[in-house]
Structure 1
Amino acid sequence: MAPVNPRILSSVLIVLFLLLTIGMVYSLSVETHMALKGAVQDKLITVASITASQIDGDAFLQIGPGDENTPEFIRVRDQLRSMKEATTDIRYIYTMRKNGDIIAFVVDADYGSDPDAPYIDDPYPEAEPEMYAGFIAPSANREFTTDEWGTVLSGFSPIRDRAGNVVGIVGVDMDSSVVSAQIDYLNLFFYGIGIISLIAVVSAIIVIERRRVIDARRVEESERKYRLLFERAADAIFLLEAEGEGQGAILSANRAAARMHGYSEEELLRMNLRDIETPETGEQIGDRFNIILKGTWLQGEATHLKQDRTVFSVEFSAGLLDLGQKRVIITICRDITDRKKSDDALRQVTEKLNLLNAVTFNDIQNALFTLNGYLSLSKSLAKDEKLTRTLDRAEESLKKVSRSLNFAKSYQDLGAKPPRWQEVNQVFILGISHLDFSKLERSVHLDNLEIFADSLLERVFLSLADNVLRHAGTATRVTLDYRRSGENLILVFADNGQGISYDRKEMIFERGSGSQKGLELFLIREILGITGITITETGEPGSGARFEMVIPKGGYRFLPDTS
């Protein structure tokens, strides 16, 4: 066997070592890339989730185009700015919502300081799948994305109202330079490794290892900043074991959680969520976890126990957090004991006032009934004509007092029950059923329309119909239909009577106007106003009265046709 040329052997060994080094460098580069990006993704999701949990979803839902200077908009913008200032490597933080199939901006932390910041309902072009997924559960981009604002890695988390409905998302962007600079540095070594000597290869491996240590320290620093946010939150935050035998075990808890429950943080880490909930709500934990594990962000109320066994009420928001190799449940709790006490006290006071009003109304009506009887008896016995006229005027005054009492009773019931969805056609039929409406032709076109209104909506249609019978003497026909106006819906009730003069169109809604002293139309406007519905009279004098009720977006819907 011919001896192997040492130079060839050395060359082969160098090439093999070089290939091995290249493989090692490439493997280290990919691993570092994944570790950095994974840490950034986890951080983005966590920052987005914490921020979303602190935004009032019900107030956020009310922000509309042109509301950039409203307190609701400014409150959300300041919350976003505070989070951005606390996390210096965040480039952008903003909120968005769906307008049909389009995702649009709502509040941007840079609004007011950056002229390029988007306005309310500015559409976002070409939304990626992870952004849509953020309306369901916390998510993050798998890769960097590029748009008109730069190349970023983004995380998203849903904003929910008190009912648990998703009303928008919080988006957090980190500039690609935070991670890409490190990755580019590693790639530079990778591409140059083929033209350097064996010594350079060894040196490159050492440099890369040192770089990994630096990157690890940066990841630790990023985690330290996240921990700072975690600890400074005003609400109690728990990270809980999501699955297995230890389900519900407390993996991490912030200072607010320890302070709220009277334990030290170390004591909480040895406990399970079931240890700090009362048996009444603790037995529901398993069911709650099953719902959360399906990807649902859950909100609700529970009763917790302090270390001294004091029971207090909390409002919680909980969802699934994917930390890569491990899934945990993040739960944010807020003590609502004082709020519930205030609500209970207010409810008791309201009930007592309603009872007092009912007794008072009853006593006054009984007295009026008795007084009216005495007046009738006096009129039958009176012989003097002047005395009879005086008694007639007194009787008319009693009737006015009685009408005012009936109005006050109706106004007392206003808002006593929560608003609800009501089918307009059905409520209209119930309203006119109290009247003799047989002589008037009716034309109703509503297409199974439902509106969200006070429980006294039937009184609205009763009063409108009664107004036709009392004042539109020449009317032979009434119509009830609707039309759309932008995002609003206009419900129209009209007749073909003599109409209302221009100078009285607004006056008729004032209390004290008209033959019935304006009580009914005044009350109609108040009933509708509870849920943001406005009413105006827009008919042409001589062609009939026309009452238009403007129902805002979200206050109407159409039931499916089941016929």
Structure 2
Amino acid sequence: MTFVTSPDDLYKSVPVVAFERNVTDLWKTRNISPNSKQFGIFTESTGEDTDILSSIYTDDQELVTRKLGAAILQQRSGIDLRYRIRTGSFFRWVEEHCSLSYNESGEIISAYSYLWMSSLPVEWALLTKGSEVWNTLNSKIRHDILNQLTAILGYLELSTDIITDPMLIDFSKKEQNAAEKIRNRLIFTREYQKIGLLEFSWISLSDIISEALNEILLGPIRIKIEMNQSSLYVDKNFRVALEKILENIPVHATGATDVIIQLRSTDEGGLLSIEDNGCGISEQHKARIFDLGFGNGNGAGLFLSEKLLSVFGITIHENGIPGQGARFELFIPSPILNFNP
């Protein structure tokens, strides 16, 4: 992700400490946003030639130095770094997002960075560790249950071939249907497997929407995307959530010919809307469309989408007009949104 806004403008639009690196020594600063004192970062700085590395926690210095060096060797336009930085008398986790530009000779001509103040890096680390443990355990349990269900289904099928009583045959078929539903639900839980295991990073919203659309067959439906260069602090599960919303359109939005996807700024963040001009959703169904098992399909798509979005603090509602089209609105909180009009 590339930022070309100067630090003087950048720190005013998002809750960050912004600074410009000295291109002759990237671990020195040329300019720091005035709010650095508010966060207790670079408190002794005058804004010129402040040593960045000395403020970073000792155990993190080697990793961030190596990652930044690799990005420069590859002439990447940007790099995301996660480390602990001194804030007064203690160290605090931050996300640094550094935008790099080069001349034709491959030399760096500008390096703008900002430090995002958030507890999310710590929360992400704890969530990852916990998820690894629980997912390993859940995978084993799920595997064992599926094996037992397969055996039950096999015995039920054999029983149906042996018994002749119509009532018992009917009971056997109902038992098979119930066991199949349990089996499908267990397989569905695999969708949750990677929640909390994928690394969060700043992702271009327009890029991830395009990736989601590439996974969906919308047929003749036209897509209009009204998007700027905004970005989100999420993982790849956000794309999965979008896919679950979009794949419903050709199936349920009868008569739809157009879909409009747009983002607008709100007082508390942003509103991402996905709107079609199909048959819409009736009022009596609006309250249940995110329930597991509701709908004509397996009833899992929108349920999963809502749960995945909730991981990022994003809420989703359907506010379309029945008979005129469906409109899914995703409310994105400001801490994970870099809105660039």
TM-score by shorter chain over 0.5: yes
Separation of aligned partners in 2, 1:344 and 1:453 = 14
Q: Is there any run of 5+ residues in structure 2 with no aligned partner, and where?
A: 1-9, 15-30, 60-83, 94-123
The answer to whether the 8 A contact 2:315-2:330 is kept is: yes
Q: Which has the larger share of strand? A: 2
Local SS of the residue matching 1:522: helix
The answer to whether the 8 A contact 1:419-1:531 is kept is: no
Matches within 5 A, 1:35-434: 99=12, 135=34, 157-160=37-40, 294-296=49-51, 299-302=55-58, 317=86, 332-333=89-90, 350-376=131-157, 379=160, 385-434=166-215
Separation of aligned partners in 1, 2:167 and 2:307 = 42
The answer to whether the 8 A contact 1:420-1:452 is kept is: yes
- Relative to 1, partners in 2 of residues 1:370 and 1:442: Cα closer, same or farther, differing over 3 Å? farther
Residue in 2 that maps onto 1:474? 255
Identity fraction in percent? 25
Separation of aligned partners in 2, 1:316 and 1:558 = 25
Local SS of the residue matching 1:362: helix
Structure 1 vs Structure 2 CA RMSD: 4.3
Local SS of the residue matching 2:325: coil
- Per-residue CA shift, 1:145-185, capped at 9, x if unaligned? xxxxxxxxxxxx3415xxx6x8xx9xxxxxxxxxxxxxxxx
Q: Does 1:441 find its partner at 2:210?
A: no
Counterpart of 1:535, as a letter, is I
The answer to whether the 8 A contact 2:277-2:324 is kept is: yes
- Per-residue CA shift, 1:340-369, capped at 9, x if unaligned? xxx999866643322111111222223334
Superposed displacement of residue 452, structure 1: 2.3
Separation of aligned partners in 1, 2:340 and 2:34 = 25
The answer to whether the 8 A contact 1:488-1:552 is kept is: yes
Local SS of the residue matching 2:245: helix
The answer to whether the 8 A contact 1:136-1:295 is kept is: no
Separation of aligned partners in 2, 1:468 and 1:301 = 49
Counterpart of 1:539, as a letter, is G
The answer to whether the 8 A contact 2:217-2:247 is kept is: no
Residue in 2 that maps onto 1:505? 286
- Relative to 1, partners in 2 of residues 1:519 and 1:335: Cα closer, same or farther, differing over 3 Å? closer
- Per-residue CA shift, 1:217-259, capped at 9, x if unaligned? xxxxxxxxxxxxxxxxxxxxxx9xxxxxxxxxxxxxxxxxxxx
Separation of aligned partners in 2, 1:406 and 1:532 = 26
Separation of aligned partners in 1, 2:127 and 2:280 = 45
Q: Which has the larger share of helix? A: 1
The answer to whether the 8 A contact 1:317-1:333 is kept is: yes
- Relative to 1, partners in 2 of residues 1:410 and 1:335: Cα closer, same or farther, differing over 3 Å? closer
Separation of aligned partners in 1, 2:128 and 2:12 = 38
Local SS of the residue matching 1:438: coil
Separation of aligned partners in 2, 1:425 and 1:373 = 48
Residue in 1 that maps onto 2:245? 464
The answer to whether the 8 A contact 2:204-2:229 is kept is: yes
Q: Greater RCO between the two (CA within 8 Å, min separation 6)?
A: 2
- Relative to 1, partners in 2 of residues 1:362 and 1:469: Cα closer, same or farther, differing over 3 Å? farther
Deviating more after overlay: 481-490 vs 343-352: 343-352
Q: Is there any run of 5+ residues in structure 1 with no aligned partner, and where?
A: 1-96, 102-131, 138-156, 170-238, 240-288, 304-314, 319-330, 337-342
- Relative to 1, partners in 2 of residues 1:344 and 1:552: Cα closer, same or farther, differing over 3 Å? closer
Separation of aligned partners in 2, 1:383 and 1:394 = 16
